[in-house]
Every structure is written in structure tokens, then in C-alpha cells.
Structure 1
């Protein structure tokens, strides 16, 4: 982000005193500040409806908090760029409210979106790459369009693992050439996971009310889990991908990242819609819903849930924590059955084959449609740019995935098509569908993954297990909810279901969340004391 833009926004916000106050609180490891910033959509809307809060004032307070916590103090580097028109948009929405027009539950609510989602405004859309720094999209992504229609204020863009973590085989999540390294609010020397790193950290630190992430495999649910928030990876086609810098159309999707299940449900409802520019959304016709209706405290009552035991075992402390949470599910009326999700070892290699096969054509199609004026037009151009600017772009890790994707022959290639068929067979009909049908399940649960690891530019990422791939490869929904802490680091509990089962999963996730209320705001420690 151009720092001059931020300074200008801070002055325009009239937030100098708030910045100083928040900076002092952050320096003392406190999340002190206006409680309204930690609040959710419904409370903020109630305050605005009562005339006690305006969208403009809310935006001003979040800008002050971003200045104090993201750009100074703990220096999270979660926000890569701010929208210079955010205050003007908020003022316009306040005028609409005064005139009696409220577009819906997101009217006047600030949202941060990942910097691979196109916005036809003064912000760049770069996927964190210096190759697209300063490149403004020619039109909005469908997701951005839906947010504007709903009355949300797009506050800015969040940092991410560059190219959505599809650049290197030895990458460090949360790092981009344009945005630097995102840091975890629960331990600043630890990773946020990725690739929706900035969205996860921003929600944990209350830098906006809502955030949007994107996922190909784990990029919503993993940073949500490691940052102690809620994440929803929807069914493929429920939310349009048009205007989102892609990896692979067979698995890519956008989804909510929020501090509560209620906020995630409201945000998901706003994002849904059939988009003629994304053929996959045609299958969602008649299947999307008002997901706020699913927010029931009895959402676990009578639900038959498969405990995916083949996704336990990566860490004793996490297993012990999740076992206690399974007892909560039972206490809320769920029927638990130990299961093994079948055939999960049969698409490890073929998943990567599909992602690499789709990456180049999908990326080049995006550049042609949304950034025809960009200095890079092709995958080869991106690779060449990185080589030319190696001191800035290749300082920590390489671009092996970009090179491998460039070498793939295209979408008509036999190996690609066989890999895609293999993925769908073993992740869907002989995977999730099979176990859910045979055991008559409403959902599967397991730990979302490991705790945040130390950021390490020598060895790269070192994940501690993950439950993301079955739902990601199948294109099925996945919801993660805070389940507690190990050594002060967040752990998530995942709910996974069959296609279009978002309402059921949200109901279960909400009932669990309300029975536990595990999430607590971070204190931004430099590290955590992990005893042997």
C-alpha cells in the first residue's frame, strides 16, 4: 500500500486522537478501544438504527484501529491497501438511512476483502504480487458487486500469501511481495496460515466488522482456525468466482471470515446469486438461502455426526482438546459416530495435477477480462517479472508452482482430465458422499488443523495436520468454529457436509459456538510460552 494514501485517509477521518489511544493500548498488549469494533453486524446495526452510531463514525474508528494495530504497534500487516473512498461511501449510506432506505443487514457495515478480488475503484487488485501492484481492475468482481448492492462499505484489501499460495513448493504463508509478512495476533512470531492470511488476522484483531477470503484448499478454514475466528468455505458454485484472481476453477471459491457464526451467515446470504459470468453458479439456483434462519441454539439436537478419526492424531494436545469439544456436541443433543473418511489418499497427487493444469489458463483469462492494461498478460510474463525483480519477489522462496503451471499443456490434456475425474470420484461419490450415506450422517467433524507455527523463511511452512482437502477437492461446504486454545494458540473445530448443506452446517456450528463461546480477543504477545 502507498503509505501516503493511508496518512491522507487518517487525516480525513479526523482520527489522530483515536490512533494515539489505540497505539498506546496495543503497545501494552491490550485490545482496549471501542467495544463496538469487536461487536457484530446485529449490534452495530442496532446502534445505527437507534441513531447512536453512523457508518461514517464506524469507518473512522476502524481506520484508527488499523493505524494503531496493523500499521504501528503489533504491526500485523493484515491490510494491504485502504479504500480512499470508504468515508465518502459511508456518508452516502448514512444519507440513505436518514432518507428511510436501508438495503439490508449489511447497510453501512465495513468489510475487508482479500486482495485477489477485483474492485473497479481506486484500489489495486494484485494477489499480493508486485507484478500487479498499482493495477486497477476494469470492473468489479461479482462478490464486490454484491457487497456494494447490500450496502456494505468496502474498507480495503487484505494481505495474502502471494498468488493465493500457489507460487512455491516451499512458501511461507502470509507473505507477499507487495504486503510483506502478515503476523498472527495471538503470537506475533507465528504464522497466520494462508492464503487468506490478512483476512484471518484482520478479523481476529477487529480491524473491520467482516472479511472475505478465498479458498482452493484450506485458504479460508486454515487461517480462520489459526486466528481463532469463523470461516465458511461454501459449496462450489454458491458464490461466484468471476473477477477473483484464480488458481483453479474446479476448487476455487470465496467465503466469509468473521468473529461469529451469525455474522458469517449474514455475509454468506449477501454473497449468493446466480452469475452468468460463472457457469458453476447455475447449479445454485434454488439452493441458496437466508442463512440467518439457520441460527438456532438447538441446531445440534438429533443430528448424526461422523467423527472423522483419520483426521486426528497430528498432535496430542489438539486431540485432547477436541475430545472435550465432542462431549459438548453430545450434550447439545448430537449423536456421534466414529468414522473413517474413505479414499482420502487417492487424490493427493491428482489434486495438484488439476490445480497446476487449470492455473495458467484461468489466470490468463482473468488478466484478459479484468486487467487487460496490466504489464503482465500471461503466466510466462509473471515468471519473467519475478526473475527480473528477484531481489524483492524471490527473496524468501521461489516460484516452482508458476513454472510447473506454465509447462502444463492445457485443459484438453488427458492427464489433467483423468486427474479431475479421479478427484471427483474419490472425494465425492466414493468419499464424503459414501460415508455420509452409509452412516446416515448430517455432517462430519474433526480438528480443522494444527496451531499456528513459527514463521520460518528457512524451512517454509510446517502445517500440523489439516481437514481441508476432502471438502475442498469435492467442492463441498466446510465451516470452522473456534474450539479453544493450546498454549494460548487458537484451534478450530470443523463441520463438513455434502453439497449445498450450508444451512445445516451453520445451524450446528452456531449451536456449538453458543454453547461454548470460546473465542477471546488476542493480546498481541510477541511469542507464547510453550512449556515442554
Structure 2
């Protein structure tokens, strides 16, 4: 990519049209090549230059021609892919200089599915390095390869991680849609704080083969878009069985995740409200009450749930990830069809130590180092059984069954925090309950529900295993009922409302 200057007047004109252009992407492009050309120009003017969002690491200058020739359900729509998912054109780096030459020459099955459906891979998006599993004190959205991703709604605010580039890119209208990945919050958090739709499917709906891994039990890719319909349309394209990923053979999919979205109704649907997940902020609570009022007017029956995760739960979550990270990363790195670069997680740790200025300047790698010593298989199995029980049989399954509700809802996250590379992330307010769906491996949809001081806030809708279609239909019904005004990106530093 080349960086170039842009005249102030031209940039102002581009920013003035960004919001309407992004919304227009939800319809099938009348001219796929023209849409792709517009996205390329927007990347050049908003990502490479102007506010320099750093959302896109690399893009395909020939995407317009490919969009014109594409056939299939996606009709040449452009899709950006998070740079921990392999694509044949470019190296897959996971944001790390250790993998800067990781050109495998292969598509992940989900990308191959995308192309067969007529999607055009526009480029790769930045991410929190190693999908934010490197350090317990990181700054989300930063990687040594891509730099720091900025939130289009306030460029001094965080885009969240690890799918920060995918979230920021779609908020800025740099593509029709993007692929994100999630282990615990890495699709839903960036979608929420960037003011877009993000869908974490049930684990098994989408293949994880040739995706740089963290967890065999929680990892999944999913759509990040401007509407629930588009999330369902993209899910149609990327979902599918994969013999190399056995859980995909167990998944219960539907033929068309867009079916019934346009007519979806909440009339008489009982929905569980996770009140304790609202958090400590009165402004988020007020926004959530507006969403609840919208749902009630749409005919939903709201049921307040008094649920709080047992304190003992948290002791078991990190050891599971640490054990799985070491095992899964060693498998991935040791089987890459690339001669150079790390072959194990231990090699990655050693590489970072040898590159302290480039890799360890802003935060360390304590989690990677902890994973190397988390080797007790019996303890792993016990911890996994504990967190699975607490999030499934004693968690989501129990809440749905005992209260006879179809879904669980809560605010997704608080507003985007000020980015600080020196002090790291500031997750405050105790808002959200997405960890339940993440650890259970169940579907979780976040849909914009308004803003706090111009900063987007999402509404989470979670359901039981394989209830992905039902969750998407509920999200589409909420979109129709929503009365809150949604913010548009400013591409400037944050200012208090009214200033």
C-alpha cells in the first residue's frame, strides 16, 4: 500500500458521504466493480491517508475487476478478512513479525466457501496481535505488523480487539462486510464499540482450519456487517462442513440464514433480561431501557433474570485457554507449508525476546509464557468440564429453560475507551455477559442500540446451541423496532456531545 496526501476539501467531501454510502452497502450492488472501486478509494483516503485508521493491512487493487466477474449469491460483494485467517494471495501474520512471511498459498475453507459464493476478498484487516492472547496488559487493536487501529467514531478511542480492523473497516465503509474471529468477545466487542453488527456463530457452524488458533473449544470466525441481513447472508457463504474440523460435522445448520428475517416478529416471544450485566453506568442503563421499550412495543415479553456467574467460575477459564493455546498453536505452526518462521509457541516467545523494540515495547507476553508451562492434562479436563457446566447446563441452558425464554439480552459493552499504549486497555463498568456464549460455544449477536456521548453501544442477543437462525431473526426484528438514533463516524478525536 502507498501513503499519499489528500486535499482537505476532497477529504471533507469523502467524510460527508461515508455514512450514507455505508448504509447503501446493505443492498446488492448494481455494479459490483463500481462498489469495489469505491471501497478501494475509501481505503486509500481513510486508511492509508486522512485519519489513517490502520484497519487494513493489505488490499487487492484488482478487486474491481474480480467483482465484475464474480458469480454467486454474493454477487461480487467485497469482504475484508482478518489477518489470522489464511488467504492464498497474502501472508497470514496474526499481526506478528514472526509470521510476516507466512505465505502458505492456501485459502482457509471459510475463504474458499466465500469465493465460491461470489464474494471478493478485498484485503486483510489488522488485529490485536496473536488475537489479543499475548499479554494480560495489552492495548487492543495494536499489532507489530499493522500498528494501532483507530475507531472511526473517535480516532483517539479504541476499536477493541481482537477483530479491531474488521470492526473499524466496516464502520468506515471500507468494504461491504468483514470476517472477524472470536475466542471471547473478539467479534462482539469491536462490533459494539464501532457501531456495527457482529455475529459470533455457534462453534462448529464455520470451519476453523487454516485459522491461526487459540482455543479448540471456543474459537470461531463470524460476520461483521452493517445489518443483520448482511450478517446472515455472509454466514450463508462461509458456513459449512470440514472433515479437518470435526465439530463442523456435528453442527445443525439451516439452508438459508436470511430466510424469514424480513418478516421476523417478536410478538409473544419471551426474552430474558440479564439485569446484572447492565453494569454500573446510568447512561448505558438508560440506553438499554430504550431498547427494552422498543422490544416491548414489538410484542416481546420481557422477563428479568437475577443471574450472576459464581465467583469460582473465573478460576478455571484462563487455564483452559492456556492449555489449548499451547496445543493448538504448536499444531498450526509445526504444519505450516512455509520453510521459515516459528514452528512452535516456544519459538514465538523466543522471537519476541529477540525483537524487544519492535514486539515488546508496549506490552509483554506473559500469557504466551504462561501457556508454555500449562501442561497438566487432568487439570485441563477438570477445568474445561467446570466452565462448560457453568455456561451451559447451569448457565444459558438453565436460564432459557427455567424461565421459559427464547433468548438472553444485555448491553454488549461499554463505550470505547481512550487508547493508551503506555497503560493499556481500560475495561471498566462491568457491562456485558458475552463470555457466557463465548465459553459455551453458543450464538451471540450484537446489534447497535444507540450511543453514549457519540460512542456506539450494542445490544447482545444470545441463544442456545445451534439456535443461530433464531438469534439472527430476533436481531432483525429488533432492528425494525429500534427507535434510538445511531451515531455516524466523525473520523476525528472525541468531543463531548454538543461541543
Which category describes the TM-score, using the shorter chain as reference length?
Answer: over 0.9
Distance 1:339 1:165 in 2: 31
State the partner residue of 1:526.
493
Residues 93-144 of structure 1, C-alpha deviation per residue, up to 9 Å, x if partnerless?
A: 2xxxxxxxx411x1211000100001122x1101101111132124211111
1:30 aligns with 2:15: yes
Separation of aligned partners in 1, 2:347 and 2:235: 35
Task: Tell me how far apart the structure 2 counterparts of residues 377 and 472 of structure 1 sit (CA, whole Å).
Answer: 28
CA distance in 1, matches of 2:78, 2:57: 16
Residue equivalent to 2:369: 403
Distance 1:87 1:298 in 2: 34
| 2:135 is equivalent to residue 168 of structure 1 | yes
What stretches of structure 1 move > 6 A for 4+ residues in a row?
Answer: none
TM-score (norm 2): 0.95
Distance between the aligned counterparts of 2:13 and 2:91, measured in 1? 34
What is the CA distance between 1:345 and its match in structure 2? 3.4
Q: In the alignment, is residue 145 of structure 1 matched against residue 117 of structure 2?
A: no
Q: Which residue of 2 aligns with 1:74?
A: 51
1:271-420 matches, within 5 Å, as 271-284=238-251, 286-341=252-307, 343-409=309-375, 413-420=377-384
Structure 2 runs not aligned, ≥5 long: none
Q: Conserved in 2, the CA contact under 8 Å of 1:38 and 1:209? A: no
In the alignment, is residue 210 of structure 1 matched against residue 177 of structure 2?
yes
Q: TM-score, normalised by structure 1?
A: 0.89
| Residues 477-523 of structure 1, C-alpha deviations (whole Å, 9 max, x = no match) | 00000000100000001000100111111111111112226444312
Contact 2:410 2:432 in 1 (8 A): no
- Figure out how many residues of one structure are paired with residues of the other and give that number: 496
Distance change in 2, residues 1:512/1:37 (3 Å):
closer
The answer as to 2:438 corresponding to 1:472 is yes
Q: Are positions 1:483 and 2:449 aligned together?
A: yes
Shift of 1:91: 4.3
Q: Secondary structure at the match of 1:293?
A: coil
User: For structure 1, which runs of at least 5 residues remain unmatched after alignment?
Assistant: 8-18, 48-52, 94-101
SS in 1 for 2:107: coil
Query: Using the alignment, how far apart are the partners of 2:62 and 2:198 within structure 1?
Result: 27
Q: Mark the CA change 1:34 to 1:442 in structure 2 (over 3 Å): closer, same or farther.
A: closer
1:294 deviates by 3.2
Q: Deviations over 1:335-373 (max 9, x none)?
A: 000003353534222111111001011112122334442
Distance 1:344 1:43, change over 3 A: farther
Q: CA deviation at 1:457?
A: 1.9
Change (3 A) 1:376 1:85: farther
* Structure-to-structure mapping, 1:36-185, within 5 angstroms: 36-44=21-29, 47=30, 53=31, 55-83=32-60, 85-93=62-70, 102-104=71-73, 106-121=74-89, 123-185=90-152
CA RMSD of aligned residues (A): 2.1
Match of 1:439 in 2: 403
Given the superposition, is the C-alpha separation of residues 319 and 455 from structure 1 closer, same or farther in structure 2, using an over 3 Å criterion? same
For 1:246-265, list aligned pairs within 5 A: 246-265=213-232
| Deviation per residue, 1:232-267 (Å, 9 max, x gap) | 011010111111101111100000000111100101
Contact 2:212–2:332 under 8 Å retained in 1: yes
Aligned 8 A contact 2:319 2:374 in 1: no
Q: Which moved more, 1:462-471 or 1:164-173?
A: 462-471
Give me the whole-angstrom Cα distance separating, in 1, the residues matched to 2:164 and 2:92: 16
* Structure-2 change in CA distance of 1:24 and 1:347 (3 Å): farther
Does the 8 Å contact 1:483/1:493 carry over to 2? yes
**1:170-200: CA deviations, max 9, x gaps?**
0000000000000011111100111000000
